Amino acid sequence: MLNNMLDLEAVARERLMTWLPGAKIVRPPDTAVDAVLVWQGPRGTVRYVLEFKKHLPQQDIQVVARRLEQQAKNLPKAKAVARPLLLAPYVPPKQAAFLRGRGIDYADEAGNAHLQAPGVLVHIEGKRPGLITTTKGGITKGWVKVMLAGLLNPGLFEGPYHHLAVAAGVTPPTVMTCLRDLQRRGLLDVRGQRRRLVGRRELLPLWTQAYVNTLRPRLAERRFRMLPADDAQAGLTRMHDVLAVHRVAWCLTGAAAAHQLTHYYRAGVIEIYAAPRAITDAIARELKAQPTEGDANFVVIEPPIPGVVPGPADRTAPLPMAPALLAYAELRFHGMGQADDAAELLLPLIEGRDDATT
């Protein structure tokens, strides 16, 4: 946190003081907030909740934006405008547009900025960083799997390497490499033989974007056109019955899982995690589905890690569901319109433990 605070103050003083003369940066007692910038403007006091993201292009902007909004909302009440402000070495154009759409201000070291508050209006875009550095080792398919297993069960970060390797479906050497990377990022506290995840708050947006970019495109799929049922819920129940009879291990994910959790968004496609070849042609016929290479309304996706899909479900059991974190990540993979709106509703379910791990 110390290095992050120093980076934040350096960027803030270099990029903001020209536009916000006389502004002061204070560190509030609430450790969930990096810092607050207080500016006495011509139209009253403005308080900016500051957050610095060193590797913003690698992070899920929707998670970052929601947290900034919550932090600004949770500032102690005062006769001052409270706004979120994101600082970073570089804010890519798509992320910048998203932030502006959410009413979140930003400034980066490349010179891009957007400030819109009583008494100030600044907008600069199109500046590119002179040099983009990449993290040594990078984020790999194995990294995404290891982090997913640990996010779903943080105790695995603390135990033997082979336990985490089995849960993630990777080798122990891969786990060792990934945990060293997590430690280097300051997200894993290592003292002797003891390890503890201390940066779930930072890992979550990093992992989500890595899943979307690195792992999800590599997961095998089988796509079908399925005759839709008159009642969507009845159609899911029929699928549950058929797959239970054939002892297929599966679970809902994506929009279908999100709808079960939030009752908000019903998409025209059902996505499940299951071994793609487990849905044989005979089972597909029972589901009234035809394999297709084109548009599909039923997609079978290879499970990202072994433990995501439980054993074959009993017909009397509830619909098997992927963890909310994976339903969210699938929606962000599609990344458009109502899928993003539905994903937003899942964030409270997957961020609930931040206070205990940051």
Q: How do residues 97-143 score in pLDDT, each as one tens digit? A: 999 999 999 999 888 999 999 999 999 998 887 655 544 457 899 99
Per-residue confidence at 315, pLDDT binned at 50, 70, 90?
Answer: confident
Q: For the segment 155-213, what is each residue's pLDDT rounded down to a tens digit?
A: 999 999 999 999 999 999 999 999 999 999 899 999 988 999 998 888 999 999 999 99
| CA dist., res. 271 & res. 280, Å (int) | 16
Does residue 3 surpass a pLDDT of 70?
no
Global pTM exceeds 0.85: no
**What domains can you pick out in the chain, each with its CATH number?**
2-124 (3.40.1350), 141-216 (1.10.10.10), 219-350 (3.30.460)
Phi/psi of residue 9, nearest 5 degrees: -65, -40
| CA dist., res. 158 & res. 1, Å (int) | 22
Q: For the segment 8-40, what is each residue's pLDDT rounded down to a tens digit?
A: 777 777 778 889 998 998 877 655 677 889 999
| CA dist., res. 325 & res. 207, Å (int) | 10
Q: How far is CA 113 from the centre of its chain?
A: 24
- Strand (E) positions, the chain? 24-26, 35-41, 44-52, 81-88, 105-108, 113-117, 120-124, 188-191, 194-197, 221-226, 251-253, 270-273, 289-291, 298-301
DSSP string, 260-289: HHHS----S-EEEES-GGGS-HHHHHHTTE
pLDDT at 267: 78
pLDDT at 74: 82
DSSP-derived secondary structure letter, 323: -
DSSP string, 77-110: P-SSEEEEEEEES---HHHHHHHHHTT-EEEETT
pLDDT at 136: 45
